[in-house]
Amino acid sequence: MLNMKKILQVIILITVSLSVSSCYYDSIYEPIDTGGNGNGEPQEVSYQNDIIPLWVQCVGCHNGNEPPNLEDDVSYDALLNGFVVPGDADASILYQSLLGSNGVSLMPPGAQWPDSKINLVRDWINQGALNN
pLDDT digits (tens, 9 = 90+) for 11-63: 887 776 665 555 444 444 444 444 555 556 668 999 999 999 999 989 999 99
70 domain residue, yes or no? yes
**Does pLDDT of 72 surpass 50?**
yes
Give the pLDDT of residue 37. Answer: 52
Per the structure, the complete domain to which residue 84 belongs is given by 42-132
* The amino acid at 89: A
Global confidence as pTM: 0.70
Q: Give the residue from 28, 29, 78, 27 showing the smallest Cα distance to 52.
A: 78
20 domain residue, yes or no? no
121 domain residue, yes or no? yes
Give the pLDDT of residue 24. Answer: 42
57 domain residue, yes or no? yes
14 domain residue, yes or no? no
Question: How is residue 47 annotated by DSSP?
Answer: I
Sign of the C-alpha dihedral computed for residues 108, 111, 113 and 118 taken in this order:
positive
34 domain residue, yes or no? no
* In contact, 75 and 68? CB cutoff 8 Å: yes
| 80-103 tens-digit pLDDT | 999 999 999 999 999 999 999 999
C-alpha–C-alpha distance, residues 17 and 118, integer Å: 37
Domains identified in the chain, total number: 1
